[in-house]
Amino acid sequence: MKETPKEKRIRARMMPGVITLAGFVGKDKRSLSEIIAADEKELETLGRTAEEIAQRMQAFTDATFDVFDARTVIEENYEVETEVIRGKLPCPYAHGGLIRKLVTTLTNRRQNITVKWTALNIHLIKEHHFFEGKGSSFRIEPAVLVKALFD
């Protein structure tokens, strides 16, 4: 599918070195709308919405703010730690505001799955249904993320 001029501008901001060193699309050659459509289709088969996922990710991140530089156990199954990094980042979709730099690591002990996300990942999933492109350093496959967060 051909990208619109707006998508081209957004994709340009997602390239390595513009907002982040590694960028947001990895080696994915699909248009942003194709990436999002494929992930939304997968979410539909998983019975989850992007908003539910982002809400759960945010809840885990928020639960770690009182625990400085240490892992905490939540709901007896999840080991979670958030590392706050100095600075803020803009959303590549350019709709104002800056998002705090942090990385949350969650291990689902029952499933033996570890996933990592940033505050910007949460925003991109919630607001844009964008899990990043294939090969991106912070790409989270929807099926893996659902299994880590909800199983």
Q: Which residue has the tokens 């996922």?
A: 53
Residue 138: CA atoms inside 13 Å, Cβ hemisphere, count?
23
Q: Dig out the tokens for 44 from the structure.
A: 């539909």
> Range of 74's domain?
5-150
Find out whether 28 and 35 touch, Cβ atoms under 8 Å: yes
Local structure of residue 90 (DSSP, 8 states): E
Tens-digit pLDDT profile for residues 18-52 = 999 999 999 999 999 999 999 999 999 999 999 99
Q: Distance between CA 100 and CA 98 in Å, rounded?
A: 7
For 113-141, the pLDDT digits (tens) are: 999 999 999 999 999 999 999 999 999 99
- pTM of the complete model: 0.94
> Quick check: 112 pLDDT over 90?
yes
Q: What is the per-residue pLDDT for 68?
A: 67
Number of domains in the chain: 1
